[in-house]
Chain A
Amino acid sequence: MNKRCRELSEALIALAEGRSSAEVAEHVAHCGACAKRLAEYREMLEVGRVRAFAAPQEVIARAQAIMPAKQGRVATFLRSSLSLAGARAATTIDFQIVVETGLGQLRLMYVRTESGWDVMGRLPNVEATIERGDSQITADESGRFQFAAENLQDTAFTLWTRDGERVDVPSAEDLLTSER
């Protein structure tokens, strides 16, 4: 694209919008790059004219209900090496929590880092995937996994077994609160 083409950027868009300019049309007729850009602008504007309608909320809700909410299990607290107050106050102390998942016991290690906490664990003897929000955490061959969290409230995650069983593991904050 040469200097003239760059100068014509706005005029090309005007042409795409239907405002004719003999000078620009003449340039486009002899310039392959500008002819391509003009065609692409026209395609964008044409697609933009395809009208979109937002579905009413009750219509969306009815479709969302097609998949019933599956009752998953929630992992329960068994023991920890630290109290909630201790964990909150901890600046250098790492601690552990052991939970019962229904698939087996899961020992979780919480390690302080500069930006928050590293959470490490090893899956019970079961093939499962680990999800936090929309992201997926991959366990290694031995089932070990690790993720970083900003704070102890941000440490919840979900286990999904191959059979579609779901186990929610609450955050360290919630687990330690449930201990009391």
Chain B
Amino acid sequence: MSIFLEGSDVERLVARCRKQDSEAWAKLVTEFQALVYSIPRRYGLGEDDAADVFQNTFQALFKNLDRIESGQALPKWLAVTAAREAMRLKRVSKRTLSTEDGPLGLDELVASEEASAEAEAIRSDAGYRLRRAIGAMQARCRDLLTVLYLEEEESYAVVGERLGMPVGAIGPTRARCLEKLRKTLEAQQFFGK
């Protein structure tokens, strides 16, 4: 199971990447791989196109390392970049400026794509932060919330068997864990963005 880095760790990694530290770069790619790769897949692109978006996004990061203001801003920067790139690829593959786009002119299309990229970035950043907060919880809560809310839906009987937890304990434990998670996220000003 992935244990996410703290914000300050990301800050340090970015600083090391600016000094061309390839070990730090490898860690940074690993840390944000799911965030970036998920975006083209959610846009409906196949594995090859998603791989291209992934590579182009990290190429862009490599070129712009000095422009990243803080580690905190990095997840959203990556998400916006990946979303723009995914839409560009999608447009190219569909030859978007054909009849499929109906009455939209180029300016409107660009504005619409930009709004979509921004919305996708907010969603992806929130997803990353939620997963990071769950990943930082103690094992019992982390495993239970992951199985219940981040993976394919399973019955309590299956969840109980997987985690070695009596079925009767799942409901109350999940409530306690969700409340802990809510408090953690509240402290991180996660809600209502």
Which residue numbers of A lie inside 8 Å of B, CB to CB? 9-10, 13, 37, 39-41, 43-45, 47-56, 59-60, 62-64, 66-70, 131, 134-136, 160, 164, 166
Chain A: minimal CB distance from B70 (Å) = 16
Chain B, range 1-54, C-beta contacts under 8 Å to A: 9, 12-13, 16-17, 19-22, 25-26, 29-30, 33-38, 41-42, 47, 50-51, 54
A residues near B58, Cβ cutoff 8 Å: 63, 66
CA distance A134 to B11 in the complex (A): 10
Chain B: minimal CB distance from A80 (Å) = 28
Chain A: minimal CB distance from B154 (Å) = 14
Q: Is B59 an interface residue (CB 8 A)?
A: yes
Contact among A13, A56, A66 with B178 in the assembled complex (CB-CB below 8 Å):
A13
Q: Is B124 an interface residue (CB 8 A)?
A: yes
CA distance A166 to B179 in the complex (A): 46
Nearest CB in chain A to that of B36: its residue:
A55
Q: Across chains A and B, which 7 residue pairs bring their CB atoms closest together, nearest first?
A: A55-B37, A67-B25, A48-B149, A63-B58, A10-B175, A50-B127, A64-B26
Q: A9-B179, A67-B62, A134-B13 are in contact. Are A60 and B33 (CB under 8 A)?
A: yes
Contact A67 B33 (CB under 8 A): no
Known A-B contacts: A49-B149, A62-B55. Give 8 more (CB < 8 A).
A13-B174, A50-B42, A53-B41, A53-B42, A55-B51, A60-B30, A64-B29, A134-B12
CA distance A148 to B6 in the complex (A): 23
Which residue numbers of B lie inside 8 Å of A, CB to CB? 9, 12-13, 16-17, 19-22, 25-26, 29-30, 33-38, 41-42, 47, 50-51, 54-55, 58-59, 62, 123-124, 126-127, 130-131, 149-150, 171-172, 174-175, 178-179, 181-182, 185-186, 190-192
Contact A166 B9 (CB under 8 A): no
Nearest CB in chain B to that of A43: its residue:
B191
Nearest CB in chain B to that of A70: its residue:
B20
Contact A63 B55 (CB under 8 A): yes
Contact B182 A164 (CB under 8 A): no
Chain A: minimal CB distance from B66 (Å) = 12
Contact A37 B25 (CB under 8 A): no
Describe B's contact surface by its main secondary structure: helix
22 contacts between A and B (CB under 8 A): A10-B171, A13-B174, A40-B182, A41-B178, A43-B190, A44-B149, A44-B178, A44-B185, A48-B130, A53-B41, A53-B50, A54-B34, A60-B30, A63-B29, A63-B55, A64-B25, A64-B30, A66-B55, A70-B22, A135-B12, A160-B21, A164-B19
CA distance A116 to B130 in the complex (A): 38
Contact A52 B34 (CB under 8 A): yes
Contact among A50, A60, A63, A135 with B123 in the assembled complex (CB-CB below 8 Å):
A50
Contact B21 A70 (CB under 8 A): yes
Contact B34 A40 (CB under 8 A): no
A residues near B190, Cβ cutoff 8 Å: 43
CA distance A166 to B36 in the complex (A): 30
CA distance A60 to B29 in the complex (A): 7
B residues near A50, Cβ cutoff 8 Å: 38, 42, 123-124, 126-127
Nearest CB in chain A to that of B12: its residue:
A134
Residue among B21, B36, B174 with the highest chain A CB neighbour number at 10 A:
B21
